[in-house]
Amino acid sequence: PVLVVDYGAQYAQLIARRVREAGVYSEIVPHSMSTEKILAKDPAAIILSGGPSSVYADGAPAGDIALFEAGVPVFGICYGFQLMAHTLGGTVAQTGLSEFGATTATVCAEDSSFLTGTPDSQNVWMSHGDSVSHAPEGFDVLAKTPGAEVAAFVDTKRKFGGVQWHPEVKHSDYGQVALENFLFNVAGLEKTWSTGNIIDEQVAKIREQVGDDLVICALSGGVDSSVAAALVHKAVGDQLTCFFIDHGLLREGEREQVEQDYASTMGIKVVTIDESERFLGALEGITEPEAKRKAIGREFIRSFEDAQRKLIAEAGVEGADIKFLVQGTLYPDVVESGGGEGAANIKSHHNVGGLPEDLKFELVEPLRTLFKDEVRAIGRELGVPEKIVARQPFPGPGLGIRVIGEVNKHNLDVLRAADAIAREELTAAGMDEEIWQCPVVLLAGVRSVGVQGDGRTYGHPIVLRPVSSEDAMTADWTRMPYDVLAKISNRITNEVREVNRVVLDVTSKPPGTIEWE
Ligand code: XMP
C-alpha cells in the first residue's frame, strides 16, 4: 500500500482517498508508529501529511532519517514537506510570512517533473507559517509561491518529492495531477485498485472466513449494511440471512420499501421482525438521550438474539449455531476509533446504540478498508438499486432520537407525518443531492401558542435540520431556498394536527451535532 503518515492534519483521510482515486490502495498510519513498523508494512510509497505544528515547535513530531534510507519513495505535503526538508538537511525558515487559503504557485524549473502537465501559474491552497528556504542537497526546486521560495521540490534519483500546498483539496486546481504524476512517474507505481478488484478480493476473503457456516446481518436499509450484505451474498449466497428489525422508530413507508428492494431486486433473504411493541415498552418514560440510545441498543440485541434462535430452530440442525455477523463498518470508523490494528472496536455511534463487546459472533466486515464513495461504487457494480446506494444517512436509533421528549406512539405518529412531508417536498424541489441529510425533529416537550382559523392553538414545534457535509464529521446548515422552506412549513402546519410552528436549525457542526440527541 501507499502509507499516509498522519501528522494530525484533518487531511490525512482526504489524501488516502485521492491516492485511491488514482487507482492505488492507500492506508493511514499514525505518526507515532515507529519507522520499523511502517517499513514492515512494505509500503510502495509513503506520504507525509500536513500537520498543525512548526518543525521547531516544542513536541513537534520529528522526522526519522531511517525512513528516507529504506529506498521507499516519499512525498511530503505541507508539514510533511517541511519535515522532509528539515530531516534531509535543507533549511526551514520562519519568514514571518504566512499563507492561508488560495494563492498562486509559479513553476520555476525547466524539467517540471511531477508538475508536468500543469500550467506555469496555478491556483493552490495553502496553510502554513514556516517555509522551506533551501531545499536539501540533491533536490530541484520546482515551484514557488509569494510566501514560499521553495514550494515544491523533487529528487528524482531517490524518488522523493513534496509540495508546500495541499494537493488533496479541490481548491488546488492541479493537485490530483501532481499527486498522480508523483505516484506513477516519479515513484513508478502501477494502478491496481479498482471496484472490480475490491469485489473479487473481498468475495474471496469472505468465502475463506465463513466457509460453510451460517451468517446473519442486521439490515438497516442504509447504504453500508446493504452493500455489506450484497457482498456477503455474492460470496456465500443463501448462507446469509438478513434480519430487518422494525423497531417502530422507522419513517413512513420505510419497512415496506426495504422488504421490496432486497427480496425482489437483490435476491437476498430478508426476515422482517416486528418488534415495535417491545421497543416502545422499553422507551416508556425515558427522555434522556443516552438512556434512550442504551434502551434501544439493548432491545435491539434482544430482538436479534430471538431472531437467531428462531432461525436455528428452523434450520432444524442439532447443535447448529450461527457464528458470523456482518457489519457495515467503514474505514473512517476504523481510523477514528484508533487506527484499526487488532481487535474489532465497535463504536456506539456506528451501530444501533452500540452492540456489546461480548457478542458471541465473529464479525464479517467487508467494508472495513473502504471509504463511503468506494462503497457506493461497489454497490452500484453489485446491482444494489440506486435508491439505496444514493440514500441519505439515517441513524440506527431512528426517530427515537428525533422526538425530543418521550418517545411514544402518538409523538412518533406526529413526527412521521411531518417527516414524510419534508422529505416529499425536498425531493420535489430537487434538493436531495445538495443536502447530506435533513433530520426532522419534534420538540414534544415544548408547546407554543398559535392561531388557526379563529381558534387558539397550543401545539408543538417541528425543527428542520438540513445539513451539507462531506463525511458527517463536520457540517454546515444548508442554505435552502425560502420558497421550499415556506412550502414545507405550510404543509406541515396545515396537515399535521398538533404542530403549529416550524423552525429552521441554523447551527453548523461543530458546535451542534447533526442529530439533536
Ligand atoms: P451527529 O448527530 O453525531 O451525527 O452529528 C453524525 C451522523 O451519524 C448519524 N448518527 C448515527 N448513525 N447510529 C447510526 O447508525 C447512531 O446511533 C447514530 N447517531 C447519529 C447521524 O444521522 C449523522 O449522519
What CATH number has the domain bearing residue 450? Answer: 3.30.300.10
The answer on 128 and 37 residing in a single domain is yes
Pick the catalytic residue from 31, 166, 233, 350: 166
Annotated catalytic residue 166? yes
Pick the catalytic residue from 78, 217, 242, 438: 78
Write b or e for each residue in 379-397: b if 16 or more Cβ atoms lie within 10 A of its Cβ, otherwise e. Answer: beebebbeebbebebbbbb
Q: What is the ipTM for the molecules in this complex?
A: 0.98
The answer on 468 and 350 residing in a single domain is no
Q: For residues 231 and 210, what is the distance between their CA atoms, to the nearest angstrom?
A: 13
Domain count along the chain? 3
The range of the structural domain enclosing residue 205 comes to 195-389
Set of cell numbers at residue 437: 441529510
Cβ atoms of 397 and 296 within 8 Å: the answer is: yes
Residue of minimum CA distance from atom 17 in ligand 1: 349
The answer on 451 and 413 residing in a single domain is yes
Cβ atoms of 46 and 75 within 8 Å: the answer is: yes
Tell me which DSSP letter residue 399 carries: G
Set of cell numbers at residue 48: 507525509
Atom nearest to 222 CA in ligand 1 = 15
**Residue at 273 is within a domain:** yes
Res 76: pLDDT: 98
Give the CATH number for residue 105.
3.40.50.880
The length of the chain is: 517
The position carrying cell 422529505 is 423
Q: How far is the CA of 517 from the centre of ligand 1 (A)?
A: 9
Comparing CA positions, the residue from 139, 137, 165, 167 lying closest to residue 153 is 139
Atom nearest to 513 CA in ligand 1 = 5
Residue list, ligand 1 pocket, CB within 6 Å: 349-350, 393, 395-397, 437, 472, 509, 513-515
Question: DSSP secondary structure string, 110-139?
Answer: SS-GGGTTS-SEEEEEEEESSEEEEPPTTP
Pick the catalytic residue from 27, 99, 168, 180: 168
The answer on 356 and 247 residing in a single domain is yes
154 is in an annotated binding site: no
**Residue at 517 is within a domain:** no
The answer on 200 and 323 residing in a single domain is yes
Annotated catalytic residue 21? no
Annotated catalytic residue 277? no
The answer on 110 and 217 residing in a single domain is no
The residue ranges of the chain whose pLDDT is under 50 are 339-354
